[in-house]
């Protein structure tokens, strides 16, 4: 299985990101536009996820439903309406999207309550040290 990563541009916190995605999801599947169709899109559509990078950490993932055409010859990455928190994992910021192999993807948090056990800053620091 293959995934994509993308910086959560403009999101001040994980809660802010989840709120923004929730607002967009209320209208149906979310469409993010990009210039180019990933060459390995067949490996991703319906199986992979878009992992969100926030403050140099992978913090959440949204399943990718598929890919479609968008205005101006661009490509739409179609995302499911639910976003799941993942165990924070270090990841350098980048422009656009990048591939993420399944073996390198962080695991989902068992439930939202587990995410609240540690403050986000502490979770980031521990993940940066490789302890979380």
Q: Each residue of 40-57: pLDDT tens digit? A: 999 999 999 999 999 999
Sign of CA dihedral 47, 70, 24, 90: positive
Residues constituting the chain: 132
pLDDT of residue 112: 46
Q: For residues 79 and 46, give the distance between their C-alpha atoms in angstroms, rounded to a whole number.
A: 9
- What DSSP designation does 74 have? -
Q: Domain residues of the chain, as ranges? A: 2-128
Q: What is the mean pLDDT of residues 126-132?
A: 62
Tell me the whole-structure pTM to 2 decimals.
Answer: 0.83
Give first-to-last CA distance, the chain, whole Å: 23
How confident is the model at residue 130, as a pLDDT?
Answer: 60
DSSP assignment letter at 117: S
More confident residue, 98 or 111: 98
Chain-centre distance for alpha carbon 17: 10
Segment 62-101, tens digit of pLDDT:
999 999 999 999 999 999 999 999 998 999 999 999 999 9
């Amino acid at each position: 299985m293959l995934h994509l990563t993308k910086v959560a541009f403009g999101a001040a916190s994980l809660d802010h990101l989840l709120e923004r995605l929730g607002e967009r999801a209320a209208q149906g599947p979310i469409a993010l536009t990009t210039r180019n169709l990933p060459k390995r899109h067949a490996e991703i559509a319906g199986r992979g996820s878009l992992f969100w990078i926030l403050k140099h950490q992978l913090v959440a993932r949204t399943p990718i439903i598929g890919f479609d055409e968008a205005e101006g010859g661009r490509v739409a990455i179609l995302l499911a309406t639910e976003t799941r928190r993942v165990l924070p994992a270090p990841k350098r910021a980048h422009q656009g999207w990048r591939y993420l192999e399944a073996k390198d993807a962080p695991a989902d948090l068992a439930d939202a309550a587990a995410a609240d056990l540690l403050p986000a800053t502490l979770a980031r620091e521990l993940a940066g040290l490789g302890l979380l």
